[in-house]
Amino acid sequence: MRELTPEQIRDVVETRILPKVMKPGRYLGNEWNSVHKDWDRAGVRMAFGFPDVYEVGMSHLGTRILYHLVNSFDRYVLERVFAPWVDMEEGLRKYEVPLFSLESYMPVRSFDVVGFTLQYEMSFSNILNMLDLSGIPLKSAERGEQDPLVIAGGPCAYNPEPLADFIDLFLIGESEEQLPEFLELVHQAKEQGLTRREVLARASSIGGVYVPSLYTVEYKEDGRLKSFQPVDAGVPAVITKRVVKDLDQAYFPDRAIVPNMEIVHDRVMLEVLRGCSRGCRFCQAGILYRPVRERRPETLLKQARELVSSSGYNEISLTSLSTGDYTCVQPVVKSLVEEYRDKGVGISLPSLRIDSFDVGLAEEVQKVRKTGLTFAPEAGTQRLRDVINKNVTEEDLLRTVQAAFGKGWSSVKLYFMIGLPTEEQADLDGIVDLAKKVADQGLRAGRRNVTITVSTSSFVPKAHTPFQWEPQEPITSLRAKQEYLRGKLRDRRLRYNWHDAETSFLEAVFAKGDRRLGKVLESAWSKGCRFDGWSEHFKFPLWLEALQEAGLDPHFYANRALEYDELLPWDHVDSGVSKQYLAGEHQRAMRGITSIDCRHLGCYACGVCPELDVSVELKGGVAGEN
């Protein structure tokens, strides 16, 4: 890439590239409420990279929070950069224009820090592509003193090993306090003239910071991990996640950037609570974001007023992993509806559980505009729902949809997983039966034209969950189940959607992978892989080529049952939930025993509350045999 000034970049982009791309609004910047600071006066300059397109990244609440948080400090500047779509990449490479930030059109490689949020394993190839478009060496070991520090955080950072070759350091946990601490270290390092190595060594002492280059890894002959050790005594052997203890006092922006184009979640987002104690055994987020913390109603109402006033949005979404579990959801919703009903501002609850759904509450939030309802039974039979600890029943679902149909709704979406541990043929038939029973409830309620959309995704075992030891079902089996359901769900009232099995397979490879996958990732990217989460750009044969050339068997990662006493690639990252607790929950799953929400019926000693001991004992052997 050429050395260009921001003015030169803007000129080439606006006159030669944007007229030829599909959505130029992705690259314009200058949105309402975007922050433009004096670059020359900033002590530390950070580019925040989201490895997907603008409309996806701008919908991410964490991006909105960190953007305004960092820019609230006088000495820091944070600017945004998103993965350029293939047409934009073609233009950048044709005219040799480096990847640039939206706020100032400054080349990304000119920043002190480049940070990526890791929301999805299938975005990893985009990270490499963004580094290459920026002119930043891909590998941490190849970067010099003039290159920016490349950092990453987010849920996928809880198994950071597949990206260990490319990321200088990872921020594990919630970053509202952690990221400013790191930027202050960088500021001091610039004043003191410290080298990259010295900065990384000092950063490793910040709670929740993991520096891959400060650890050595050995493997056994069978491919499993043999050891994972810090290079010296001053480096922590285990990195514990950072947690914001008081969510009500945590930073939350009083303004939101209003995008230049329609985005996925184009609305005010209020985070009512963080964490979930339901304990679904497949759910990684439910583990990573423990413990549960809530915001006070008065805090949320104040935030709503500020955000609506500063943005002009006409919808407020109450977000969390399970908004129906928010203690004050009823009074908050009623207050918001009363305040904004006559102003044309709607309220939405995007994440409601079947057993916490309230039709009266749903009516309240949809007085401005009525949309469909979405529920996630996850499994077709009660036996399998008990295995995954879903703790909802068929009766819960049918009672809920009957009430909803009776109040005028006619559209319901149902989400299920296939390939869950212990799944049987009866569980697939249960999906079909449950979908038809839901449709029948519409007829009973007098709704003649109901639409039931059934969506299935393939189970992906994730690190730090009770099912982390489980294998993923082979692709051929998952495809057969999808075809079976497609045939059985042929009904004018039903629609069936499913996720690509090959994508889920590769997701599992990286979700459970180690740092040897770095060479696979680099090879696949060099062959043309990017936007792997987008079906039209996913090139599965190229990934298989890259794995074969690296001498790695993808089934070793995705389709192998792990042993309880096996050293796992992510064991050096402490999510706050103990491995003993996860093993105990896995054993309960195999026996079909449920665990009730600890917020209401007692503590299970998961480890998040450190004063309590874990009594479950780790047992050897392959998971699922106990």
List the domain boundaries for the chain.
Answer: 6-240, 267-371, 372-516+552-626
Least confident of 117-126, 329-338, 540-549, 577-586: 329-338
Q: Mean per-residue pLDDT for 501-520? A: 98
Q: Mean per-residue pLDDT for 542-563? A: 98
Structure tokens at 426: 């009866």
Q: Could you read off the pLDDT of 151-175 as tens digits, one per residue?
A: 999 999 999 999 999 999 999 999 9
Q: Mean per-residue pLDDT for 218-236? A: 95
Q: Mean per-residue pLDDT for 364-370? A: 63
pLDDT > 60? residue 348:
yes
- Please give the pLDDT value at position 351: 61
Confidence of residue 625 (pLDDT cuts 50, 70, 90): very low
Interacting residues of 191 by C-beta distance below 8 A, sequence separation 6+? none
Given this chain, do its domains 6-240 and 372-516+552-626 carry the same CATH topology? Answer: no
Give the chain's length. 626
- Please give the pLDDT value at position 443: 86
Tokens 């579990």 locate to 325
Q: pLDDT over 70 for what percent of the chain?
A: 96
- Pick 288 or 358 by higher pLDDT: 288
The domain defined by 6-240 folds into Rossmann fold (3.40.50)
Pick the CATH number of 372-516+552-626 from 3.30.750.200, 3.40.50.10800, 3.40.630.30, 3.40.50.970: 3.30.750.200
pLDDT > 70? residue 227:
yes
Distance between CA atoms of 596 and 589, rounded to whole angstroms? 13
Confidence of residue 474 (pLDDT cuts 50, 70, 90): very high
Architecture of domain 267-371: 2-Layer Sandwich (3.30)
Residue whose C-alpha is closest to residue 570's, from 156, 115, 73, 135: 156
Q: pLDDT over 90 for what percent of the chain?
A: 81
pLDDT > 80? residue 624:
no
pLDDT > 60? residue 284:
yes
Structure tokens at 110: 């000119």
- Please give the pLDDT value at position 448: 81
Confidence of residue 1 (pLDDT cuts 50, 70, 90): confident
Confidence of residue 344 (pLDDT cuts 50, 70, 90): confident
**Consecutive H or E run containing 542:** helix 540-549
Query: Distances from the Cα of 21 to the Cαs of 15, 84, 263, 471, in angstroms?
Result: 12, 10, 17, 42
| Strand 293-294, strand 273-274: pairing | antiparallel
pLDDT > 60? residue 620:
no
Q: Mean per-residue pLDDT for 252-270? A: 93
Angle at 42 between CA 166 and CA 100, to 5 degrees: 50
pTM here is 0.94
Least confident of 56-65, 208-217, 361-370, 533-542: 361-370
Mean pLDDT of the chain: 93
